[in-house]
Amino acid sequence: MIGRTFARTVAGLTLTALGFCLTTPTAEASRRYPTEVTLRYPIAPNIDHSPVVQTPFKRCRTALADPNGVLVIGDSITALGFDNITAQFAAAGRPVCINARDGRRTDEGVYQLSRYVSGGLVGPNTSVVMALGSNDVLRPASEMKTNIVRTMQLLGTQRNVYWVHAFNYLWWDSVPQWRYVRGTRRVDEEIKWGAAHYGNITTVPWPTLVKATYPALLSQDLLHPTPDGNAARTRLILETMKPTVAP
């Protein structure tokens, strides 16, 4: 989605998306994380072959060793807000490790999560933010539920997990609008299902905040936040999270 300029007709309006260019924050961020894991299910290829935008390894190790450390796994929306998320979390006393990628589907996000877990970076007190679901609009029903189950198998029942609700819009024009609407509702329902089945999942109602303030927080592509939206989304995640642990 990011790095493309595209147009789509939604509700009778032609909306042109903004073009974004993302780069890895530092050269060190391209380092491989330890202990590659092969999961027992297929991982969808990333159709854009886009780079992973991630916090450098040493910073991640330090951040996640802190009892208030947070791991964020996301897609293009998180990648776009990388600097804002890093700064706001730090100001809130929440050292953060981010791994995001343009076009990332949830199954690939769960795979990336598994690498941090198997590499020993995710401690028993680490909070995890899963900001995924925007690229799953055409996937089979209940696939998000399956990926939530996989996520919780990795994280267990003690860690605090925060799942950000997502809009389900894809860039190509050949997909009818009703698929976007249906996909958004379905992912919303399946994330709520996850929270109902796992007591340590808390949902983050990003679309609800957007609808209450539209169009201030959402770009014309109806998916990526504006600069103000990035800041508001990060604040919402922080406000949803449990209080920090006293030093």
pLDDT at 157 over 50: yes
Beta bridge partners of 101: 52
Place of tokens 């679309």: 207
For residue 203, what are its two tokens? 């949902």
Gap between the Cα atoms of 43 and 116, Å rounded: 17
Within a 13 Å sphere around the CA of 203, how many CA atoms are in the beta-carbon half?
21
- Cβ(28)–Cβ(128) below 8 Å: no
Average pLDDT over residues 150-175: 85
pLDDT at 42 over 80: no
Quote the pLDDT of residue 186. 87
For residue 59, what are its two tokens? 């910073």
CB neighbour class for 190 (10 Å; exposed up to 12, middle 13-18, buried from 19): buried
Q: Flag the least confident range among 14-23, 155-164, 204-213.
A: 14-23
Residue scoring higher pLDDT (218 or 137): 218
Gap between the Cα atoms of 30 and 24, Å rounded: 7
pLDDT at 30 over 60: no
Dihedral over Cα of 41, 44, 137, 83: its sign: positive
Gap between the Cα atoms of 220 and 5, Å rounded: 11
Domains, the chain: 7-240 (3.40.50.1110)
- Cβ(173)–Cβ(6) below 8 Å: yes
Q: What is the pLDDT of residues 202-215, one digit of tens each?
A: 999 999 999 888 88
Gap between the Cα atoms of 28 and 16, Å rounded: 34
Average predicted confidence (pLDDT) for the chain: 80
Give the residue from 165, 157, 168, 207 showing the smallest Cα distance to 190.
165
SS3 assignment, position 89: helix
Average pLDDT over residues 149-161: 96
CB neighbour class for 242 (10 Å; exposed up to 12, middle 13-18, buried from 19): exposed
